[in-house]
Structure 1
Amino acid sequence: MKIKATLRLVSLFISLSYQISLAQVLTPAQTRTDLSYLKRKLDLLHPGMGYYTPQARMEQLYDSLYNHLNSPTDYLSFYHHISPLVAAIKDGHTNLNHRKNYIGKYTRFLPFYIRLVESQYFISHNVSSDTTLQRGTELLTINGRPVADVHRELMNADHSGSDGDNLTGRRQWSMVQFADYYAAWFGSADSIQITYQLIGDSLVRKTRLRCLTLDSFRARIQRRYGVELDRRPNLSVRTVDTLTHTAVLRVSTFMGTKKKDPFQWGFNRRLKRAFKQIRQENVQNLVIDMQGNGGGIVVNSARLLRYWMQKPFRIMDHEEMKRAARTELVTRWNPFSALNFSLQYRADNSGGFASRSSNRRYRPRHRDSFSGNLYFLVNGASFSATTTVLAKTLDAGLGTYVGEASGSAYWGDFAGHFKTITLPNSRLQVRIPLKKLTHAVETERANGFTVEPDFIVTRSFDDLMNNRDYILDYTLRLIREGIVIRPGVDKQPIRNRALQASR
C-alpha cells in the first residue's frame, strides 16, 4: 500500500510540474530576444530566405511581430506569435517545434481519426469510450468551432511537408495527424465537446469526450482496428492481379533499415530482392506505392531509379549552402570534420559553398531492371526524396501518376543537412535546412509546380466506409483498361481513353 501511495504522489508531482511548465510566462524582453535570435539564425543559415516569400515581405512581417511583443506572453501564445514567420518561408523542411518534453506521456490527444470527403469531415477510427461514434459519423464542431475552420487554422499554421503555395502536403499531414496537430497548436486538453451526426440521421447531437494519452490511444487503436493497420514492410512486393501481371512495390520511406548503416547496404539488399522477385514473377505493370513517403536519404532514391532509368543520370544539378553553414558542419570536437568538409564542398561565386558530388552519375542496372509500365501512387505526403524520384522519372518521360500532387517542388527543395536551434528563453526549437538541392531535370518537362497526377483521385464516402485504398483501386482499373500515359521509349502513349466503368 505504501508503494502504491508513493507512486501516486510521484505521478501527481510530475503531472503538476508538467502543468506549471505549460503555464510559463515570458517577459517582453525575453520574447523579443527569442524572436530576434530566430530571425538572425534564419538569415545566416537558411538557403531559401526570400525564395518563396520576397525578402522585403519577410522583413515587414518580422518588424510587425517584433513590435507587438510589448506585454508578458504565455508560452503557447508565443508559439502562436512566431509561427507566421516560420510559415512565411513556405518550406516544408523548416519546422517550428515545441520545447523538449512539451509533448509527452501526459499530453492528451483527440480520441479519433478523421477523414475528409469533399467538404465534410467524418470519423474513420474512434478510440473514445463512446462506441456509438462509428465510422462514417460526420464531425461538425469541436469546442463550438466548425471542424473546417479548425482544420484550416492548423493547415495555415504549419507548412511542414509542403513547399511553396502547394496545399496538398499541408492538407494531407494535418488530416492524417490531426490529433497531433491539434495538441501542438491548442495544447493538451482533458476533454473536448463535439457536435456530430450519425449515419443516415439528420439530428445534430452533442457530447463531451475524454482525451487520451498517447499510450492509451495506441492501445485502443490496436485493439479496435488492428486488422486494418498497414503492416507492409518497406520495399515489399505483392502480386495483385495475375491476369494483367500487376504487382505493387511499397516504398514507404527512403530511410535506411538500421541506424548504424552509413552506406545503406540494408536498403540496397531489400531493393535487390524486390526487383528480383518482380522479374521472376514476370510483372508487366508495376505500381510504385509512394503514398505517405516523407523522403529520406537521396542515395536510396537514386538506387531505386536505377531499376527503370534507361540512361546514366544525375540526381542533382546543384547543391549549395550559405557561408555560415560551414560552422555547423565543422566542429572542434571532430578533428576530421574540416577535412571532410573540404573534400565534399568548394567555395562558389556567391560566397557560399557548393557540393563537389552534384555531378555524380548513376548507371542504370541491367540485372533485374524493369522495362514495363510504371504507375505511381502519390499523395501530398509524398515529399522530399520521394518527389526527387517522381521528378526524375517524369523528366525521363516515364510513368503514369495517380492520386494528388506531391508535397515538394519539381525543381528541388531545401534539405540535405539540418541545424536545430533552440530559442534561449522559451526553448522552442526550429529545424533549419542548410542546403538548396536543385534537381537535374528540364524545367519544360514539368507538369506543374510539384509533380502533378495524370489522374486526380479523391476519397468517396464508400471508400471511407470500406477503408479502401482508393488510389490503388483506381490505378488497377486503369491497368485493366490498358490506360498508360508515359509507357516509355518506343511505345506510344494512350492519352484519350477514359475509364469504361464510372466511379
Structure 2
Amino acid sequence: MKIGKTVALIGLFVGLSYQILSAQVLTPAQARTDLSYLKRKLDLLHPGMGYYTPQPRMEQLYDSLYNRLTAPYDYMAFFHHVSPLVAALKDGHTNLNHRKNYIGKSTRFIPFYIRLVDSQYYISHNVSADSSLQRGTELLSINGKPVADVHRELMNTDHSGSDGDNLTGRRQWSMVQFADYYAAWFGSADSVTITYRLTGDTLIRQTRVRCLSLASFRSTIQRRYGTELDHRPNLSVRIVDTLTRTAVLRVSSFMGFKKNDPFQWAYNRRLKRAFKTLREQNIQNLIVDMQGNGGGIVVNSARLLRYWMPKPFRIMDHEEMKQAARAELVTRWNPFSALNFSLQYRTDKSGGFASRSGNRRYRPRHRDAFRGNIYFMQNGASFSATTTVLAKTLDAGMGTFVGEASGSAYWGDFAGHFKTVTLPNSRLQVRIPLKKLTHAVNTERANGFTVEPDFIVTRSFDDLMVNRDYILEYTLRLIREGVVVRPGPEKQPIRNRSLQASR
C-alpha cells in the first residue's frame, strides 16, 4: 500500500515538474545570455561557420535575433526564436534539441504515418481509434493549417540530415518522422482537429483525433501493421531474383553492433559473412539498399567499400578541427587523452588541428570481393557515412544509383566528433560537430551537390495503397532490362537500353 502511494506521489511530482518547466518564462537578460552563449560556442567550435551561409549574413541574423529579445519569452517561443540561427548553418549534423526530458512519456503524438504522393498527403498507417481513416485517406489540414504548410514549416526549421540547400534529406526525415517533428515544433497536444477526404470521395470531412503516447503509438503500429514493418537485420542478404542472380544487401547503419567494440570487429564479421554468401550464391547483380541509413562510424563505411573498390583507396582527403576543439577531446579525468590527441592530430597552418590519419589507405579485399554490377537504392535519409560510400563509388566510376539525392554533400561534411552544449537558462541543447571531413574524391566526377540518382523514382498512389517497395521494383526492372550506368573501371562499357527515368 505504501509503495503504491509512493509511486503515485512520484508520478504526481513528475507531472507537476513537467508543467512547471513547460511554463518557464525567460527574462530578456536570460534569453540574451543563452543566445550569446550559443553564438560564442558555434564560433569557437563549429568548423563550418560561414561555409554554406556567408559569415556576414550569419552575423546579421544573430544581431537581429539578439536585438529582438526585449520582452519575456516562454520556453517554446524561445525555442522557435533560436531555431533560425541553427538552421542558417545549413548543416545536417548540427541539431537544436529540447532540454532533457521535455519530450518524454507524457508527450502525445499525432496518430498517423503520412506519405507524400506528388503534392498531396495521404495517411499510410493509422493508429488512431477512428478506423474510418484508412490507408489512402487524403489529409488536408491539421488544426486549421494546410498539411503542406505544416510540412514546409517543419522542413524549414530543422536542417537535420540535410546539408546545404539540399531538400531531399529535410523532406524525407520530416515526412518519415512527421509525428516527432510536429510534437517538437508545435508541442504536445491531447488531440488535433483534422480535415480529410476518404479515398474515392470528394467530400471534405472534419474530425478530432486523440494523440497518443509513444508507448501506445508503438504498440498499436506493431499490432495493426506488424507484417509491413521492416524487420530486416543490418547487413542481411536476401536473394530476390534467381534468374538474374540478384540479391539485396540491406545496409541500414554504419553504427557498431556492440557498445564495447572499439575496433568494430562484430561489424567486420557481419560484412564478411554477407559477402561470403554473395560469392557462394554466385550473385551477379548486387542491390545495396542504403535508404534511411543516417551514417555512423566511418571505418565501417570503408570496410564496406573494400568489397568492390578495384584499387587501394583513401576515404578522406582532409580532417580538420578548430583550435578550441582540443579542449573538448582532452579531459582531465582521462590522463591518456592528451597523448592520444597528439598521436592522432597535428597543428595546421590555420592554428587548428588536422588528422594524422587522413592519408590512411584501405586495401581492397580479394577472396570475397564483388565483381558484378552494383545498384544503390538511396533517398534523402542516406546521410553522412552513407553518402561517403556513394561518393567514393561514384568517384571510382562504378554503380547505378536509384531513388533520390542523398542527404549529404559529395565533397564531405562536418561530423567526426561532437559537442552537445546546453544553454544556461533555457537548457536547450545544441549538438555541434567538431571536424570538417573532406572526401578523397575528384570534384569533377560529381553528378551534383549531393550524390544524385541516375534514375529518380517517386511513389505513386498505387504504390502507397499496396505498400509497394517501389524503388526496389524499379531497380529490378533495370536489372532485367540490362541497364548498367557505370559498369566499373575493370569492365567493358555496356550499351544502356532506354528506360523511363521517373515514375
TM-score normalized with structure 2 length: 0.98
Q: Distance in 2 between matches of 1:468 and 1:23?
A: 45
8 Å contact from structure 1 (residues 309, 393) kept in 2: yes
Q: Distance in 2 between matches of 1:396 and 1:282?
A: 24
Residue 469 of structure 1 and its aligned partner are, at CA, apart by: 1.1
Instruction: Tell me the residue number matched to 1:206.
Output: 206
Q: Distance in 2 between matches of 1:3 and 1:352?
A: 56
Going from structure 1 to structure 2, the CA distance change for 1:487 and 1:205 (only over 3 Å counts) comes to same
Residue 223 of structure 1 and its aligned partner are, at CA, apart by: 0.6
8 Å contact from structure 2 (residues 482, 496) kept in 1: no
Work out whether 1:215 is the aligned partner of 2:194. Answer: no
Going from structure 1 to structure 2, the CA distance change for 1:273 and 1:323 (only over 3 Å counts) comes to same
Going from structure 1 to structure 2, the CA distance change for 1:470 and 1:282 (only over 3 Å counts) comes to same
Instruction: Tell me the residue number matched to 1:237.
Output: 237
Code of the residue aligned with 2:55 in structure 1: it is Q
The secondary structure found in structure 1 opposite 2:413 is: strand
Instruction: Tell me the residue number matched to 2:440.
Output: 440
Code of the residue aligned with 1:441 in structure 2: it is V
Instruction: Tell me the residue number matched to 2:59.
Output: 59
Q: Distance in 1 between matches of 2:424 and 2:306?
A: 46
Q: Distance in 2 between matches of 1:373 and 1:353?
A: 40
8 Å contact from structure 2 (residues 456, 501) kept in 1: no
Q: Distance in 2 between matches of 1:500 and 1:153?
A: 33
Code of the residue aligned with 1:491 in structure 2: it is K
Instruction: Tell me the residue number matched to 2:363.
Output: 363
8 Å contact from structure 1 (residues 86, 95) kept in 2: yes
Q: Deviations over 1:312-368 (max 9, x none)?
A: 000000000000000100111111111000000000001100000000000000010
Residue 487 of structure 1 and its aligned partner are, at CA, apart by: 0.8
Instruction: Tell me the residue number matched to 2:81.
Output: 81
Work out whether 1:420 is the aligned partner of 2:420. Answer: yes
Q: Distance in 1 between matches of 2:277 and 2:6?
A: 57
8 Å contact from structure 2 (residues 92, 163) kept in 1: yes
Q: Distance in 2 between matches of 1:221 and 1:274?
A: 30
Instruction: Tell me the residue number matched to 2:401.
Output: 401
Q: Distance in 2 between matches of 1:495 and 1:33?
A: 63
Instruction: Tell me the residue number matched to 1:18.
Output: 18
Instruction: Tell me the residue number matched to 2:49.
Output: 49
Q: Distance in 1 between matches of 2:496 and 2:255?
A: 38
CA RMSD of aligned residues (A): 1.4
The secondary structure found in structure 2 opposite 1:269 is: helix
8 Å contact from structure 2 (residues 457, 501) kept in 1: no
Instruction: Tell me the residue number matched to 1:123.
Output: 123
8 Å contact from structure 1 (residues 26, 75) kept in 2: yes
Instruction: Tell me the residue number matched to 1:33.
Output: 33
Instruction: Tell me the residue number matched to 1:430.
Output: 430
Instruction: Tell me the residue number matched to 2:189.
Output: 189
Residue 490 of structure 1 and its aligned partner are, at CA, apart by: 4.3
The secondary structure found in structure 1 opposite 2:208 is: strand
Q: Deviations over 1:61-104 (max 9, x none)?
A: 00000000000000000000010000000000000000000000
The secondary structure found in structure 1 opposite 2:227 is: helix
Q: Distance in 2 between matches of 1:299 and 1:201?
A: 52
Going from structure 1 to structure 2, the CA distance change for 1:196 and 1:2 (only over 3 Å counts) comes to farther
Q: Distance in 1 between matches of 2:502 and 2:85?
A: 46
Q: Deviations over 1:130-188 (max 9, x none)?
A: 01101100000000000000000000000000000000000000000000000000000
Residue 229 of structure 1 and its aligned partner are, at CA, apart by: 1.0
Residue 444 of structure 1 and its aligned partner are, at CA, apart by: 0.3
Which residues of structure 1 form unaligned runs of 5+? none
Code of the residue aligned with 2:354 in structure 1: it is A
Q: Distance in 2 between matches of 1:331 and 1:5?
A: 44
**Identity, % of aligned positions:** 84
Instruction: Tell me the residue number matched to 1:353.
Output: 353
Which residues of structure 2 form unaligned runs of 5+? none
Residue 491 of structure 1 and its aligned partner are, at CA, apart by: 3.1
The secondary structure found in structure 2 opposite 1:109 is: coil
8 Å contact from structure 1 (residues 477, 499) kept in 2: no
Residue 19 of structure 1 and its aligned partner are, at CA, apart by: 1.6
Instruction: Tell me the residue number matched to 1:281.
Output: 281
8 Å contact from structure 2 (residues 455, 501) kept in 1: no
- The number of equivalent residue pairs is 503
Code of the residue aligned with 1:37 in structure 2: it is Y
Residue 7 of structure 1 and its aligned partner are, at CA, apart by: 4.7
Code of the residue aligned with 1:406 in structure 2: it is S
Report matched runs for 1:246-261 at 5 Å. Answer: 246-261=246-261
Residue 300 of structure 1 and its aligned partner are, at CA, apart by: 0.3
Residue 219 of structure 1 and its aligned partner are, at CA, apart by: 0.6
8 Å contact from structure 2 (residues 191, 208) kept in 1: yes
Q: Deviations over 1:466-492 (max 9, x none)?
A: 111111110000000000000112434
Code of the residue aligned with 1:32 in structure 2: it is R
Residue 2 of structure 1 and its aligned partner are, at CA, apart by: 7.6
Q: Distance in 1 between matches of 2:399 and 2:437?
A: 23
Instruction: Tell me the residue number matched to 1:141.
Output: 141
Instruction: Tell me the residue number matched to 1:155.
Output: 155
Code of the residue aligned with 1:344 in structure 2: it is Q
Q: Distance in 1 between matches of 2:104 and 2:495?
A: 51
Q: Distance in 2 between matches of 1:13 and 1:357?
A: 51
Q: Distance in 2 between matches of 1:247 and 1:170?
A: 30
Code of the residue aligned with 1:341 in structure 2: it is F
